Structure 1
Amino acid sequence: MPKIKIFADSTCDLPSAWIHKYEIDIVPLYVVFGDESLRDGIDITPTQLYQRVSETGNLPKTAAPSPTDFITAFTPYIDQGDQVLYISLSSELSSTYQNARIAAEEFPEGSISIFDSLNLSSAIGLLIMKAVHAANSGSNLDEIMSLLHAVRPAIEAEFVIDTLEYLHKGGRCSGVQNFIGSLLKIRPIIKVSKGLMIPANRVRGKREKAVEQLLLNALEKKDQMDSGLIFVVHSLAEEDALILQSTLQQQTGAEVALATAGCVISSHCGPHTIGIMYSKKTL
């Protein structure tokens, strides 16, 4: 049976140690400042991104990998007889998935499978780890794809946005919404549904109140949780992330891993964003 090589993109926000341990290949998205295109996680870090935004007052644009980027990444593994499985950022948020499909058409039929996570950040990481463990247990590509289709609807992803500024500058909320949010100190909790980001709660007041609501939202479903793995992902919010990690471990008994949001996720959500991502049990 051919070896299955698992690919993800830089929005999966898996811990770097896991990427190396499980030999997951990452195709980076791009962060674009003017005429300068920088590979997410390779040419620029979130700290450097925030510094440039602070200095210029302008947010970067983000761009998907091109079909050529995917062809370049996949070719060495196909040439040596492997099968490739790529788990992508939501097709509702980016052209990354479509570009990977275009690239796959350049290879022999059946050698590459492209799976749309319909999610973002470490919620993609949850699917990747399901695929990794299945592949290591001897599952073939068709079996892994079936598993991913079964698990995908069970993935839960919610996060607290500390400021509406980044969503506003990125064109994801109107000027009126930004003004009202700033004036009333509204801190939205965002969830992912069918590949899109939608409001879950709007919390008025201090950030701590919003983080507490995020935790409560997760713990309300703890009996439904798959106890295998929970992610707490953050962008410059490590202190809060550690508190959430400890509490979730105590309350659920699950493995709770910390992850840091990459540049593309950070450029849309902003600093001090924090999220909880897990899978519910599947039959």
Structure 2
Amino acid sequence: MKKIAWITDTAAQLDEAFVQKHNVYVLPLTVVFADGTYRESIDLTQEEFYGKLRSAKTSPKTSQPAIGEMLALYEELEAQGYDLAIALHLSSGLSGTFESAQSASEMTDFKVYPVDSKIGSFPMVKMIEAGDKLFAEGKEAEEVIAAITDMTARSHLSFIPSSLEQLHKSGRVSGTQTFLSNLLNIKLVISFEEGKPVMKEKVRSDKRAKSKVMNALRADMAAGAVPEVAAIHCNNAADAESWKNELLQEFPDLKVQVVQLSVCVGVHAGEGTTGLSWVAY
């Protein structure tokens, strides 16, 4: 049986037990504040990031792993005796990480198969789990990549920013839009479509915004199977737990977990953001 490594980035927000179980190597995304550059999960914890974000006069920027860092990892994996690696990265619609992985894979003799998740967070976890299962069944890399690519089309992630303040600071919405949103209590529902976050709904009140996301989930559940859902959040575990409980009241057999989003999402969406993510089957 071939020795296979998984490579991903901190958009997936994997815990250490998962990393060890699935032989995953995680490249950190980077946040650039006025006082310096910080690697997610290495130089900066979630708590430290949001503390700095609250006091930052200018919005931080995000940055992808350097090609040199990728090449060093590929060489390390080859030296460890791995036969190949699958590099599953944050959507190319959000970051250049996937394109960098493509370029780096062409600079080495080690077999690396870059894959664009076309999303972030929870679905990336499910893609690695599914791919690892297929490898255990004896499938070839090309078959695993085809299965993961199919999953990207069935993956869903929608989130509701608590306010438009951070979206304004990061240049995603205007000051006028932010002012009117605060005045009228307008909430945005942002969902991934073809690898890019798209504003799907603009509604009055958080309750209506959540209803829009729930209706999308119900539609997928009616069309097929959705065995597991993640209540996602940016430093807002309390509201995510509340949403988890609401889901379990309506769907008692549904598996629901609470998942913290990458700080790179927090740079744009802002603290307090909540949402749901799932993969339909």
Is residue 95 of structure 1 aligned with residue 96 of structure 2?
yes
What is the aligned partner in structure 2 of residue 218 from structure 1? 217
- How much does 1:230 deviate? 2.1
What is the aligned partner in structure 1 of residue 233 from structure 2? 234
The residue correspondences of 1:73-88 to structure 2 (distance < 5 A) are 73-79=73-79, 80-88=81-89
Q: Residue type matched to 1:125 in 2?
A: V
The answer (yes or no) to whether the contact 1:159–1:275 under 8 Å persists in 2 is yes
Residues 81 and 125 of structure 1: is their aligned pair in 2 closer, same or farther, counting only changes over 3 Å? Answer: closer
Q: Residue type matched to 1:223 in 2?
A: A
Farther-moved stretch of structure 1 (150-159 vs 244-253) = 244-253
What is the aligned partner in structure 1 of residue 139 from structure 2? 139
- How much does 1:234 deviate? 1.1
- How much does 1:35 deviate? 5.3
Farther-moved stretch of structure 1 (74-83 vs 149-158) = 74-83
The residue correspondences of 1:7-156 to structure 2 (distance < 5 A) are 7-34=7-34, 36-79=36-79, 80-108=81-109, 111-156=111-156
Farther-moved stretch of structure 1 (160-169 vs 9-18) = 9-18
The answer (yes or no) to whether the contact 1:33–1:61 under 8 Å persists in 2 is yes
Q: How many residues align?
A: 279
- How much does 1:243 deviate? 2.7
What is the aligned partner in structure 2 of residue 269 from structure 1? 269
> TM-score, normalised on structure 1?
0.90
Secondary structure in 2 matching 1:92 = coil
CA RMSD of aligned residues (A): 2.0
Q: Residue type matched to 2:156 in 1?
A: E
Structure 1 unmatched runs, 5+:
none
Q: Deviations over 1:37-91 (max 9, x none)?
A: 1101111122211211222332211101110111122222123132100111111
Q: Residue type matched to 1:179 in 2?
A: F
CA distance in 2: counterparts of 1:138 and 1:23, whole angstroms: 17
Residues 20 and 224 of structure 1: is their aligned pair in 2 closer, same or farther, counting only changes over 3 Å? Answer: farther
CA distance in 2: counterparts of 1:46 and 1:156, whole angstroms: 24
Residues 249 and 135 of structure 1: is their aligned pair in 2 closer, same or farther, counting only changes over 3 Å? Answer: farther
CA distance in 1: counterparts of 2:138 and 2:22, whole angstroms: 15
Secondary structure in 2 matching 1:202 = strand
What is the aligned partner in structure 2 of residue 257 from structure 1? 257
Q: Deviations over 1:167-202 (max 9, x none)?
A: 111111223322222222211111000111111221
Q: What fraction of aligned residue pairs are identical, expressed as a percent?
A: 24
Residues 178 and 16 of structure 1: is their aligned pair in 2 closer, same or farther, counting only changes over 3 Å? Answer: farther
CA distance in 2: counterparts of 1:225 and 1:238, whole angstroms: 29
Moved over 4 A (4+): none
The answer (yes or no) to whether the contact 2:234–2:263 under 8 Å persists in 1 is no
> TM-score, normalised on structure 2?
0.91
